[in-house]
Amino acid sequence: MSPRRFRLIRHHDVSGVSGTGPVAEGVQFTDGAVALRWYGDYPTTTVWDGIESVVAIHGHGGATEVEWIDPDPGPDPDLKLPPREVLPPRPWPDLHSATEPQDPDPLHSDRELGSYGGAPPAGSSSYRVFR
């Protein structure tokens, strides 16, 4: 079984960023997951659990539609994946429960530069060295 290709067609640009017409292309994998690649000045690739999530976030109430390029291949008889409806929900991990990591850059410390975003002490350079 092959992944199924699609494009997002935007009829009305609600955000004023992406314009109208084809704005992204994507592929739906055999297990239902989706990879989406945006066109434009800032091309970006995102991954979604399913096409329903893409439509819920980017459909803007019908302003953007999915245009399937490939026909629906149906289930793959050789692949023994359970239907997505019977899988347990996969909530997003709690991305904010951990404390902020310490800056591993030995050229930077709170003593030298003050708090993050603060001005460096007088007499020091105004930029950091990145490796």
Q: What is the pLDDT of residues 23-58, one digit of tens each?
A: 999 999 988 899 999 998 889 999 999 999 999 999
Query: Can you state the percent helix, strand and coil of the chain, rounding each to 5?
Result: 15, 20, 65
Predicted TM-score (pTM) of the model is 0.61
Q: Where are the domains of the chain?
A: 4-72
Q: What is the pLDDT of residues 62-100, one digit of tens each?
A: 999 999 999 998 877 788 777 767 777 665 555 455 555
Helices (H) and strands (E) counted in the chain, each on its own, are 2, 5
Q: How far is CA 124 from CA 50, 53, 108, 120, 127, in A?
A: 51, 49, 12, 6, 9
Residue 9 has pLDDT above 70, yes or no: yes
